[in-house]
Amino acid sequence: MNRLLLGLIALMTLSCSEKETYTYFGGEIVNPKEDKVYLLFKDAKIDSSSLDENNRFHFKLNEFTEGVYSFSHGNELQYIILEQEDSLMLRLNTLEFDESLMFTGEGAIKNNFLIDMWLLQEDERYLMQKFYNATPEVFVRKMDSIRSMKIEEYEQMVAETNLSPLAKHVTKASIDLPHFTHKERYASEHKYRLGLEEMPEVPAGYYEHREKVDKNDQQLADLGLYLEYLSVYLDQLTRDRCNVKCGLPGGKLKVYHYSTHRLNLIDSMVSLSHLRSYFMERTAIKYFQYDHNEESNENFIAFYKDLNNGEISPDLKRMHNAVAALRSGNAIPTLELYDQKGEKHNIDSTWFNKKTVFYLWTSMEKRHARKTLRHVKELKESYPEFQFISINLDSSHDEWINTMKELELEGDLHMRAPGMRYIIKHFAYLNLDRMVVVNEEGKVIEGFGNIYNTTPLKYSRVHEKLANMKKI
């Protein structure tokens, strides 16, 4: 009997010890931009929660990895720390996303600290415009003073709160990483702003922070501040090493030269798989934004594959192909665009009967839209032989139409793409000042132009005049 009783007690104890624990994350969105909130980890959406009738959302997590997550709503994204048994609630107003964001519940203190540091960093961006002009000694003194004030806040939080090692590491990094990023940027910013021939001589020990930052920190690998620091650090180190080894005059690096050096540096320093892939791919994507030469592009892809076991990601392959398709003389790729009635049109090389300029705008950037539209109005007067077609990037047809009315836009030369991702897929990359110029046969004149650089339009005019002269 005693043995049976002991056995029952043991089973009950085991049952209690195996009780599942959950982590909760939710809150309220005031003035929502869409009907969902997304939860992301390692730069990928892992879950979504629909807003209820009170604009509240809720995530219930079990058996998840503790660490840095992010949530997104509309076009905004914010980082959070999530640990086992947190019960984190937020409230935010999308009209002032970061400024209104406040956390309550278990896990609130560490996340409110992250938000406070983020808001301070936004304010510091204005101070940096002055600090970068200062002498190295003054710059260091001012930066150290700002960091000391933040460290006092951090130490007080640690003394009053039972934070985990993870939370301490991430919150401390929210102080250190922006500080280190500004230090990395200082020399080149100072040289540029003051028009100097050489970089300023910084005090001894200035770059000691480089040894303090783990280039493969698993706990920080998904934090935007960490990615920003490593990106700036890699950029500076690439330029410094190349200037020493390659000895290029004036330290000027061509994009192919710079990008291949940066890839080599990433390959030698970053071993954490998804972090390495992140920097490798972004280096390559940035390269293709600036270099469209066919031979250079093919050499670059071969070099990239050599460092990555012969593989490239689908996104990079898409960009490589899109750049190739938009080279001068090629027929423009087919575009699916919508008119103001919501009807879809396939714009291909057979559609054109006049030289055409495509330009971009979005309702999310109305100031930019007004500026672009004013500029295009002037171009229409200067280049009447071209038709100018705007491509709107709004995913919502109604939002586009409402903004059209607000901006008093009319006519058939305004169309809408299915969204930004669609244009990125077909135009290789997104730049709101982007201009694509096509002749009356639907062949590309300039696939990578800027709406404020009219050289392709002038060249086309001269080329046409010369062609007409030969016919005489």
Give residue-wise pLDDT tens across range 55-82. 999 999 988 899 999 999 987 899 999 9
| Whether residue 377 is found in the same domain as residue 277 | no
CB contact at 8 A, 413 and 390 = yes
Last residue of a domain, one of 325, 357, 376: 325
Instruction: Give the residue ranges of DSSP H helices in 206-313.
Output: 209-212, 224-246, 255-269, 273-290, 294-307
CB contact at 8 A, 241 and 265 = yes
CA distance 48 to 57: 9
| Whether residue 268 is found in the same domain as residue 288 | yes
**Phi, psi values for residue 413, rounded to 5°:** -95, 20
| Whether residue 303 is found in the same domain as residue 385 | no
| Whether residue 352 is found in the same domain as residue 438 | yes
| Whether residue 321 is found in the same domain as residue 339 | no
**Phi, psi values for residue 296, rounded to 5°:** -65, -40
Residue-level pLDDT at 39: 94
| Whether residue 317 is found in the same domain as residue 375 | no
E-assigned strand segments in 275-413: 335-338, 344-347, 355-361, 386-392
Last residue of a domain, one of 307, 325, 343: 325
| Whether residue 394 is found in the same domain as residue 371 | yes
Residue-level pLDDT at 13: 47
CB contact at 8 A, 303 and 260 = yes
Which CATH number fits the domain that encloses residue 358?
A: 3.40.30.10
- Stated as kind and residue range, the H or E segment containing 184 is helix 165-194
Q: Report how far apart, in Å, the C-alpha atoms of 273 and of each of 267, 277, 302, 308 are.
A: 11, 6, 21, 11
Q: What is the pTM of this model?
A: 0.85
CA distance 359 to 353: 18
Residue-level pLDDT at 429: 85
| Whether residue 430 is found in the same domain as residue 345 | yes
Its domain, for residue 445, covers 335-471
CA distance 87 to 75: 25
| Whether residue 249 is found in the same domain as residue 274 | yes
Q: Look at the chain and report how many structural domains it folds into.
A: 2
Q: State the CB neighbour count (10 A cutoff) for residue 267.
A: 15
CA distance 221 to 227: 7
Last residue of a domain, one of 325, 359, 384: 325
**Is position 397 within any domain?**
yes
Residue-level pLDDT at 464: 60
- 10-residue averages of pLDDT along the chain (472 residues): 44 51 92 91 90 93 90 90 94 87 94 94 87 96 96 96 96 97 95 91 94 95 95 93 65 81 96 94 93 95 96 92 94 93 91 93 93 95 94 91 91 89 88 94 94 87 55 54
Q: Which bin fits 94, alpha (ψ -120 to 50), beta or left (φ > 0)?
A: alpha
Work out whether strand 67-73 and strand 56-61 pair parallel, antiparallel, or are unpaired: unpaired
**Is position 320 within any domain?**
yes
| Whether residue 315 is found in the same domain as residue 365 | no
**Is position 3 within any domain?**
no
Amino acid identity, position 100: S
Residue-level pLDDT at 21: 80
**Is position 236 within any domain?**
yes
Residue-level pLDDT at 254: 84
SS3 for 385?
coil
| Whether residue 273 is found in the same domain as residue 314 | yes
**Is position 295 within any domain?**
yes
The pLDDT tens digits of the residues spanning 238-279 come to 988 877 667 555 455 689 999 999 999 999 999 999 999 999
CA distance 186 to 192: 10
For residue 331, list its beta bridge partners: 443
**Is position 422 within any domain?**
yes
| Whether residue 361 is found in the same domain as residue 463 | yes
CB contact at 8 A, 288 and 323 = yes
**Is position 103 within any domain?**
no
> Which tokens in the block code for residue 462?
């001269």
